[in-house]
């Protein structure tokens, strides 16, 4: 299956503990209605069967809207659910192996922290780099040291593919993050914990659109 058009302007990275008791699919649907262009399903504690079921439920919401779904880390879940791609970290399956197994039409993302990992990503068969954390974040326990705006700017300059910034990105700091030249913003709490996920997604999407004009 050919994945939907790749738009990394605003990427929602899910975090069920941050939802305040709300249903994941409900929040994802609201975020997509608000302008999220890509969803990354991140589940650190779910069993494989539950993870696949969640992925299929999210796909049922995002696919009719042409929004791609990526699975965090788990290639097996992506294949079972028929997701549009996978986002891997430095300790996960090598991106070249992910590409071989998913094929040329899938979306493959790779997390990088710092200039060394960005340089090492040169030539890899990935569609984008998730660079960060820009600022200190509590949503990912194993996140590296904050890179800050200037560190992010250096990573963007070194990258051969579009860069998506992640790490405590909010509507308040989004404009300064976009000034580094990143292609988009990956957000967790800014949408997952928002009282109105659709409005939060719309605000971020409007900031990205304004930058692109």
Catalytic positions: 42, 111, 140
Tokens read off for 96: 């070249």
């Amino acid at each position: 299956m050919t994945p939907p058009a790749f738009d990394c302007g605003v990427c929602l990275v899910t975090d069920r503990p941050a939802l305040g008791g709300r249903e994941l699919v409900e929040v994802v649907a609201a975020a997509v209605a608000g302008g999220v262009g890509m969803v990354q399903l991140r589940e650190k504690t779910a069993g494989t069967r539950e993870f696949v079921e969640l992925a299929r439920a999210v796909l049922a919401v995002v696919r009719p809207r042409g929004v791609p779904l990526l699975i965090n880390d788990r290639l097996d879940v992506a294949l079972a659910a028929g997701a549009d791609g996978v986002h891997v970290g430095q300790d996960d399956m090598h991106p070249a192996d992910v590409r071989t197994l998913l094929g040329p039409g899938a979306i493959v993302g790779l997390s990088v922290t710092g200039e060394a990992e960005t340089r090492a990503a040169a030539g890899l068969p990935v569609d984008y780099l998730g660079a960060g954390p820009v600022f200190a974040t509590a949503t990912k326990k194993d996140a590296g040291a904050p890179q800050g705006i200037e560190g992010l700017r250096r990573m963007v300059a070194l990258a051969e593919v579009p860069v998506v910034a992640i790490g405590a990105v909010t509507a308040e700091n989004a404009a300064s993050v976009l000034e580094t030249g990143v292609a988009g913003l990956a957000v967790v709490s800014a949408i997952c914990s928002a009282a109105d996920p659709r409005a939060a997604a719309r605000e971020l999407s409007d900031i990205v659109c304004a930058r692109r004009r």
